[in-house]
Amino acid sequence: MVDVETYINDLKETITHRDPNQSEFQEAVFTVLDSLKPVLKKHPEYVKANILASLVEPERVIQFRVPWQDDEGNFHVNRGFRVQFNSAIGPYKGGLRLHPSVNLSIVKFLGFEQILKNSLTGLPIGGGKGGSDFDPKGKSDSEIMRFCQSFMTELQKFIGPDLDVPAGDIGVGGREIGFLYGQYKRLNGFQGGILTGKGLEYGGSLARTEATGFGLIYYLNALIKDQGDTLKGKTVKISGAGNVAIYALKKAQENGANVVTVSDSNGYVYDPNGIDLATVKQIKEVERGRIKEYADRVSTAKYFEGSVWDLDIDYDIALPCATQNEIDETQAKLMVKDGVKYVAEGANMPSNSAAIAVYKDSKIVYGPAKAANAGGVAVSALEMSQNSERLSWTFEDVDNRLKDIMENIYQKSADADKEYDLGKDFQAGANIAGFEKVAKAMLAQGLV
């Protein structure tokens, strides 16, 4: 049998050869492959069954065109995707992203990450992701509705409550889920469990809106506590000002942290007195405005164009909650200089590989995305459970379950770190813990 190093190198070569331009997908997969080496050495049966070759290849990739008409009567055509990556432990589950940067590489990286993330939740959900290169910014509600209806007209052929259950991601919140759900129902009749992140009036779960941000802080609390430390009194930088950032901000403040930044793709606000949650919610959730407007309303805040990770201030905790590859090596080195002790990722793959290497070299304790931001999809799975039993659980019930799930995720990653003697590498720990369940299921199910 081939040795593990050769097996992994051959696999990387195949991936590079097959999809040479999918840099985000390669980045996500190669990181996981490298961290799985100790497991493969211990379990040669995974190599023998060539499980990893199946793991890195989506079960199905669906690409389609999405024609829609703007308010002036002009016709547009965008590209839609759904990657049904792995159903070994449950129906495909993962969000839909609407952003001009969306392409197959991005949807595949997100779908791949979702496999191990969903496994870590302990709930029976497989991995998938989708989206479109449509830009929702500046569009009217009617334009958003027409786009969502067109997108779902095609997507509905491929999804189902026990087959594939999409949800939100960047650019897809309650408004978009409502339009997508309405179109699905119009074409197929009532199927409550077809999407998650639904409105509370039509089958949504309490605490789904808050889940990713709250879950991030529950995970962070577990990680910090294990280092004998506390979130109380810490200075925190958050990037982004969307769904994940807003509820991470809220929960971090409730835990006594001083969050001094939020951002969007144009720039960031710095408020040493602490960001005012109500103002951010008003600008972003109600007015759909730009974060620059925050500094016009709060006199202690300053607005700067560019990346929040270039702001040179002393702080303790970095919570990237915007997008992939928002932190590079130079910015990670600035974190070290600024005294950062913990990084926990609300966004998917926000730190590039070189940045992660800096965290590890400088002993920054690093909570990777697939563990730290799993709260959103976990509560989505709880929404599916509630839909199946036609019941609605209380906010407190869902929130308590979320907290338990996030603490368990940290514990599983920490246990794998110990078992494989990884030296506080919670990224490798999360990859290993997520992988083992999926690999066992794939092995049990034969060559599928």
Ligand X SMILES: NC(=O)C1=CN([C@@H]2O[C@H](COP(=O)(O)OP(=O)(O)OC[C@H]3O[C@@H](n4cnc5c(N)ncnc54)[C@H](OP(=O)(O)O)[C@@H]3O)[C@@H](O)[C@H]2O)C=CC1
Ligand Y SMILES: O=C(O)CCC(=O)C(=O)O
Spatial neighbors of 123 by CB under 8 A, at least 6 apart, are: 90, 378, 381, 382, 405
What is the nearest approach in angstroms of ligand Y to the Cβ of residue 216? 11
Rule CB under 6 A: say whether 264 interacts with ligand X: yes
The smaller minimum CB distance to ligand Y, of residues 47 and 350, is found at 350
Rule CB under 6 A: say whether 131 interacts with ligand X: no
Which amino acid appears at position 315 of this protein?
Answer: Y
The smaller minimum CB distance to ligand X, of residues 80 and 173, is found at 173
Which residue in 80, 346, 368, 429 binds ligand X (CB under 6 A)?
346
Residues in the chain: 448
Candidate segments 147-155, 184-192, 340-348, 397-405, binder of ligand X by CB under 6 A: 340-348
Rule CB under 6 A: say whether 399 interacts with ligand X: no
Q: Which residues are part of a known binding site for substrate? A: 93, 114, 117, 168, 380
The smaller minimum CB distance to ligand Y, of residues 169 and 399, is found at 169
Rule CB under 6 A: say whether 215 interacts with ligand X: no
Which residue in 93, 108, 139, 237 binds ligand Y (CB under 6 A)?
93
Rule CB under 6 A: say whether 242 interacts with ligand X: yes
Which residue in 164, 169, 326, 345 binds ligand Y (CB under 6 A)?
169
Candidate segments 148-156, 166-174, 178-186, 425-433, binder of ligand X by CB under 6 A: 166-174
What is the nearest approach in angstroms of ligand X to the Cβ of residue 428? 20
Rule CB under 6 A: say whether 95 interacts with ligand Y: yes
What is the nearest approach in angstroms of ligand X to the Cβ of residue 344? 12
Binder of residue 240, out of ligand Y, ligand X, none (CB less than 5 to 8 A by kind): ligand X
What is the nearest approach in angstroms of ligand X to the Cβ of residue 327? 11
Strand order in the sheet with 75-86: 60-69, 75-86, 126-132, 92-98, 164-168
The smaller minimum CB distance to ligand X, of residues 192 and 242, is found at 242
Q: Which residues are part of a known binding site for NAD(+)? A: 212, 243
Rule CB under 6 A: say whether 127 interacts with ligand Y: no
Which residue in 8, 32, 155, 170 binds ligand X (CB under 6 A)?
170
The smaller minimum CB distance to ligand X, of residues 121 and 150, is found at 121
Binding-residue pattern over the window 379 to 418 for ligand Y, x denoting contact by CB under 6 A? -x--------------------------------------
Rule CB under 6 A: say whether 240 interacts with ligand X: yes
Is there a catalytic annotation at residue 198?
no
What is the nearest approach in angstroms of ligand X to the Cβ of residue 47? 31
Rule CB under 6 A: say whether 87 interacts with ligand Y: no
Radius of gyration of the chain (CA): 21
93-119 burial, b if ≥16 CB within 10 A, otherwise e?
bbbbbbbeebbbbbbbbbbbbbbbbbb
The set of catalytic residues is 129
Which residues here bind ligand Y, judged by CB under 6 A?
93-95, 117, 167, 169, 196, 348, 373, 376-377, 380
Which residues here bind ligand X, judged by CB under 6 A?
168-171, 212, 240-245, 264-266, 321-323, 326, 346-348, 373, 376
